[in-house]
Structure 1
Amino acid sequence: MSTLILIPARLASTRLPGKPMADISGRPMIVHVAERARESGLGRVVVATDTEAVRDAVQAHGFEAVMTRTDHESGSDRIFEALSALDPGGKVETVINVQGDLPTIDPETIRAALRPLEDRAVDIATLCVEIHRDEEKTNPNVVKVVGSPLSDTRLRALYFTRATAPWGDGPLYHHIGLYTYRRAALERFVSLSPSPLEKRERLEQLRALEAGMRIDVEIVQSVPLGVDTVEDLARAREILTSA
Structure 2
Amino acid sequence: MNALILIPARMAATRLPGKPLADINGTPMIVHVARRAAESGLGRVVVATDSREVAEVVAGAGFEIAMTRSDHQSGSDRIFEALIALDPAGAVETVVNLQGDLPTIDPASIRAALAPLADPAVDISTLGVEISREEEKTNPNVVKIVGSPLSPARLHALYFTRATAPWGDGPLYHHVGIYAYRRAALARFVALPQSALERREKLEQLRALEAGMRIDAAIVDAVPLGVDTPEDLDRARAMLA
User: Given the two structures, how large is their TM-score scaled by the length of structure 1?
Assistant: 0.98
What residue in structure 2 maps to residue 157 of structure 1?
157
Task: Give the C-alpha shift of residue 237 in structure 1.
Answer: 1.3
Task: Give the C-alpha shift of residue 41 in structure 1.
Answer: 0.1
| RMSD (Å), alpha carbons | 0.7
What residue in structure 1 maps to residue 72 of structure 2?
72
SS of structure 1 residue aligned to 2:234: helix
SS of structure 2 residue aligned to 1:116: helix
One-letter code aligned to 2:14: T
One-letter code aligned to 1:143: V
What residue in structure 1 maps to residue 123 of structure 2?
123
Task: Give the C-alpha shift of residue 221 in structure 1.
Answer: 0.6
SS of structure 2 residue aligned to 1:72: coil
SS of structure 1 residue aligned to 2:231: helix
- What is the distance in 2 between the residues matched to 1:162 and 1:225? 18
What residue in structure 2 maps to residue 25 of structure 1?
25
One-letter code aligned to 2:158: L
Q: Structure 2: give runs of 5+ residues left out of the alignment.
A: none
SS of structure 2 residue aligned to 1:83: helix
Describe the superposition over 1:124-178 as per-residue Cα deviations: whole angstroms up to 9, x where unpaired: 0001111112211111111110000000100000011111111111111111110
SS of structure 2 residue aligned to 1:108: helix
SS of structure 1 residue aligned to 2:240: helix
What residue in structure 1 maps to residue 97 of structure 2?
97
Identity of aligned residues (%): 76
Q: Structure 1: give runs of 5+ residues left out of the alignment.
A: none
- What is the distance in 1 between the residues matched to 2:21 and 2:198? 31
- What is the distance in 1 between the residues matched to 2:200 and 2:181? 24
One-letter code aligned to 1:151: S
Describe the superposition over 1:199-221 as per-residue Cα deviations: whole angstroms up to 9, x where unpaired: 11111000000100000001111
What residue in structure 1 maps to residue 87 of structure 2?
87
What residue in structure 1 maps to residue 55 of structure 2?
55
SS of structure 1 residue aligned to 2:16: coil
One-letter code aligned to 1:18: G
Task: Give the C-alpha shift of residue 24 in structure 1.
Answer: 1.6
- What is the distance in 1 between the residues matched to 2:181 and 2:213? 11
What residue in structure 2 maps to residue 211 of structure 1?
211
Task: Give the C-alpha shift of residue 25 in structure 1.
Answer: 2.3
SS of structure 1 residue aligned to 2:187: helix
Divergent runs of 4+, >4 A: none
- What is the distance in 2 between the residues matched to 1:238 and 1:201? 32
- What is the distance in 2 between the residues matched to 1:191 and 1:131? 33
